[in-house]
Amino acid sequence: MHPHIEDYALIGDLQSAALVSRNGSIDWLCLPRFDSPACFAALLGSQDNGHWRLAPQSPKARAHRSYRGESLILDTVWETPTGRVKVTDFMPQRDVQPDVVRVVEGLEGRVEMHGVLRLRFDYGRVVPWVRAAEGSRVAIAGPDSVWLRTPDQGRTYGKDLSTRSDFTVAEGERTAFVLTWHPSHEPRPDQIEPFQALEDTLEDWQAWSARCRYDGPYREAVVRSLITLKALTYAPTGGIVAAPTTSLPEELGGVRNWDYRYCWLRDASLTLNSLLSAGYLDEAGAWRDWLLRAVAGAPDDLQIMYGLAGERRLPEYEVPWLTGYCDSAPVRIGNGAVDQRQLDVYGEVLDSFHLARTAGLPAEPHAWSIQRSLMEYLESNWRDPDEGLWEIRGPRRHFVHSKVMAWVAADRAVRALEANPKLGGGIDRWRAMRDEVHREVCERGYDDERGTFTQSYETRDLDAATLLIPRVGFLPGDDPRVRGTIEAVRRDLTHEGLVRRYTTEGGSVDGLPGGEGTFLVCSFWLADALRMSGRRDEAAQLFERLLSLRNDVGLLAEEYDPAAGRQLGNCPQAFSHIGLVGTAFGLLDGSEAD
């Protein structure tokens, strides 16, 4: 049986990340990058597909875990009949090669410990050759090499194609295990000193967290979400992955399983806004610069997502040897949605650059020429149908959210020229386009009978994305059409008060079988819309309900199943934590979209 998705905690080094279960097993780890093949893939298969468990031998051991202060260092304290022991898991920010460090410390009495390290490269498929070398154990297969080092190497032994360890830790004693990946053709990697690395890593994270300028009742949740977003950042380029995992299902046993280890343009403006609000200008600048590099090129070749460094080719394929999380197959690598047409991304990109300008981030000399090119392309193509924000795999439609974001693009371009006419561009044409888009959306995307915006033109379906209309400034929050949309979404798209993206019953627009859970970021959008429509108390109540859905270490997946009381989808999900930060800041100052 797989642990629940909420039973996992995150550790990472700003280039990759691992998921550690409540039972002390690292069940997911991709090295050396977020999007590399996993060497621990038990999350999506079985223990035979790779994992590393380190825990007391006693079956009566009980664990309590938490992050150490405002950091990404995970402490798990085990209570056993013979004593107490703490296992500390972390990944120090790397100099060259990635390390996973596990420190075992005796707190009380004596505790017998047991470790099982089962490395399986290429998503759990390849069994490496393991040998003793230079006081360590080294596992090699093809391009991958992993070294395991511990002070008493004699305590490790091989059994059943795994490396095991049995030892006893007494009160006051401390030992460490260090796992280091490096290319197999290179010389042995440099060794880190694990206890010094622990001190340095804690100092790094606490110094970073102290820069957060949020000062309100939800600071713990905001800082934890910002740490999570930082952990999902690929430091060499500034790109932020949507999640560190692939194929965690939106419905247990279903087929809605996608690879989220890439960078989506749809997240751009919301991510930038969260970082700027919290005072992280360097991170915001790095994300803006990643965005600028990624979208450079022909405007008709703009993609909805890119790789960590802006790679464009992300072919999707299935991994048949993995059975999937809770038998939710297929397991997918890559993401075929990369080839979709989603016109809303033009608006999200131009809105991001608008946010960067208003925040005073230094402008790149060529940034406006790229934005102008994107705007001129959208000017000629905004009337076309597309696959929309939710990446439907059904027929293209005229999605209301896509049209609203076309309005956003025109609005932000006009504002840029009004502030600085020397930039150059078709301000009169873009004003006319802005007015035309607004008029068309209000005429064709609004259902007068029910008093709500719809998912697409000429349909009665609803879409949670229309909750963003006041946030982007398309209409004020107290507009009757906005209030009507809020009520329609609450009536028809909520399950126990939480919001679904759209209806999946009876021939879904997305062309896929089965259903999905409530979408957490959409529930944060509802809280924002409630606040902006003048219902702050209701917004705060919903926000606090959403905070209660976080796991014991403050993490949120993509979705939540209220009936089963379980998180669903890839985890932790950047979009969910971006939503949390944005709503917390909105409730703090009561501000509306500008």
**What per-residue string of b and e applies to 281-319 under the rule 16 or more CB within 10 Å gives b?**
bebbbbbbbbbbbbbeeebeebbbbbbbbbbeebeeeeb
- pLDDT at position 7 is 98
| Rounded distance between C-alpha atoms, residue 75 and residue 70, angstroms | 12
- Per-residue confidence (pLDDT) for residue 506, from 0 to 100: 54
pLDDT for 593 equals: 39
* Residue spans of the chain under pLDDT 50: 591-594
Return the pLDDT at 28: 98
Which residue's entry shows tokens 């934590």? 577
Rounded Cα distance between 396 and 188, Å, is: 52
pLDDT at 512: 73
pLDDT at 592: 43
Under a CB-based contact definition with an 8 Å cutoff, are residues 236 and 35 in contact? no
Q: b/e per residue, 367-401, with b = 16+ CB within 10 A?
A: bbebbbbbbbbbbeebeeebbbbbbbeeebbbbbb
Burial class (CB in 10 A: 0-12, 13-18, 19+), 110: middle
pLDDT of residue 443: 98
Residue 46 has a pLDDT of: 97
Domains of the chain: 5-200 (2.70.98.50), 218-589 (1.50.10.10)
Cβ(259)–Cβ(332) under 8 Å? Answer: yes
14-29 tens-digit pLDDT: 999 999 999 999 999 9
- The helix, strand and coil proportions of the chain, stated in percent and rounded to the nearest 5, come to 35, 25, 40
Residue 507's pLDDT is 53
Q: Provide the pLDDT for residue 508.
A: 59
Taking the model in full, what pTM does it have? 0.96
